[in-house]
Structure 1
């Protein structure tokens, strides 16, 4: 069996790092990409693990990374778009730069990565693109309208590509995690400055308290759990688009499918005290 190769963006932490470790343990060649490889301490390079600089906000960085990767392993089988950045707050509190950067990382950066690897996949008439979105790509939570909208966009893009790339033997898949115990709420989350919008103060504080409720976070999944779902998507041989990851993601999807969005929104409204 030919050894397979996966490229992972945003592999410096959380889901990306866990996925790099998981696939490496499974015998794959792994290219863990990140903006600052010099800061990486957990992932260790060997014959099957390479760490490559890639900034999804920089097209030249993406193109150079692809050249480096193909010069190292000759072929890529799976490209995992995982790099993510979250904006939190009411729309009017976000600066133009903050809102545009949300889309640069979560949407346009993904497109640039896909466009960079597609010529290789089309040439070999095979390949797989896996995009990590979120259950937040199917429904929206309070104060996460900007973040969730970027994931909605990626969901739509992926579904369209699922059709478009069939003729080239290229598969497209989506991973939709629920709440995950990662540092996403730390360095990868930007809460808008709301000093000029005091009318949101109580609303925001109540939401944050609910999101950090230990009873809620105790139910979150782990990056390793998501890595397992990603591995399943990459290896099951099925032409499935969407893979839910986490009990809460499955619960959210079940409620929306069988009870409808109006019921679900009323329940979330009640939960957050709106």
Structure 2
């Protein structure tokens, strides 16, 4: 008889995390769906399959408590999806220290915290899988997202290094690199960020241009379901595969980064991010 596997997923209160929790539960997995403030909605949909648990990625004690609650309920832990993350559109020079620290605390240190708390449980199970949700900007940087880009590129390096190290423990580590999902949300995000981190006068014209380039993104939005399916495939994948590139924009980023010269890569990214057009205006 096939053993039912158990997965812990962070950031399940909404969006990608919530959809991912549903997908695993619908496909027969037991799910520890974590969020800062559980509301019972997911557990209500799948009462036998989903356990909601409070978890703050910045609080190792809450991580261990959530994992233990899942182990007590389902018998063990087989996989982890590090999905929780935050972003901010801003000019680097004017980005508050508090915002920088918050992004790294969630995206980088939070991912590390979850992995460190989960590893003893995975090893006790004889191995398992860790899936880290990164971003297309982990491959190629874009303007106005410098802190988010830095955090995701840190996650990329961490993930690759751990994929070698944890092979010794029969733990596979995977990296999901999604493209922009619902890209028009950048408008609202950009406006909110301009209030949280006022744009210096000398940057205003460029900020407006770069933000408009995000709005006029030349690629279709990456479907959330395709990212969910990539996460699901990665959690089951026993091969040495590390990266799952998802979305037409990230496919182009990857092509430019790894299949062209440095000059061609930079020229291509400048065109895609509106930098070439800005040079024409300057």
Q: TM-score, normalising length from structure 1?
A: 0.91
Deviation at 1:174, TM superposition (A): 0.4
Find the residue that maps to 1:37 and give its secondary structure.
Answer: coil
Change (3 A) 1:196 1:89: closer
For 1:10 and 1:150, locate their aligned partners in 2 and report how far apart those are by CA, in whole Å.
Answer: 17
For 1:199 and 1:102, locate their aligned partners in 2 and report how far apart those are by CA, in whole Å.
Answer: 25
Output one character per residue of 1:116-143: Cα deviation in whole Å (capped at 9) or x when no partner. 1111112222111110001111110011
For 1:6-85, list aligned pairs within 5 A.
6-38=7-39, 40=41, 44-85=45-86
For 1:185 and 1:227, locate their aligned partners in 2 and report how far apart those are by CA, in whole Å.
Answer: 21
For 1:174 and 1:83, locate their aligned partners in 2 and report how far apart those are by CA, in whole Å.
Answer: 14
- Partner of 1:200 in structure 2? 203
For 2:245 and 2:122, locate their aligned partners in 1 and report how far apart those are by CA, in whole Å.
Answer: 26
Change (3 A) 1:2 1:150: same
Q: Note the residue ranges of structure 2 that are not aligned, 5 or more in a row.
A: none
Deviation at 1:244, TM superposition (A): 0.7
How many residues get paired?
Answer: 272
- 8 Å CA contact retained: 2:43, 2:52: no
For 1:73-152, list aligned pairs within 5 A.
73-152=74-153
For 1:82 and 1:74, locate their aligned partners in 2 and report how far apart those are by CA, in whole Å.
Answer: 23
For 2:42 and 2:25, locate their aligned partners in 1 and report how far apart those are by CA, in whole Å.
Answer: 16
Q: TM-score, normalising length from structure 2?
A: 0.89
For 2:199 and 2:166, locate their aligned partners in 1 and report how far apart those are by CA, in whole Å.
Answer: 47
Deviation at 1:194, TM superposition (A): 4.5
- Could you tell me which of 199, 202, 212 is aligned with 2:215? 212
Q: Which runs of 4+ in 1 moved over 3 A?
A: 39-43, 182-190, 192-196
- 8 Å CA contact retained: 1:14, 1:183: no
- 8 Å CA contact retained: 1:84, 1:188: no
- 8 Å CA contact retained: 1:194, 1:200: no
Deviation at 1:48, TM superposition (A): 0.6
- 8 Å CA contact retained: 1:182, 1:222: no
Task: Name the Cα RMSD after superposition.
Answer: 2.3
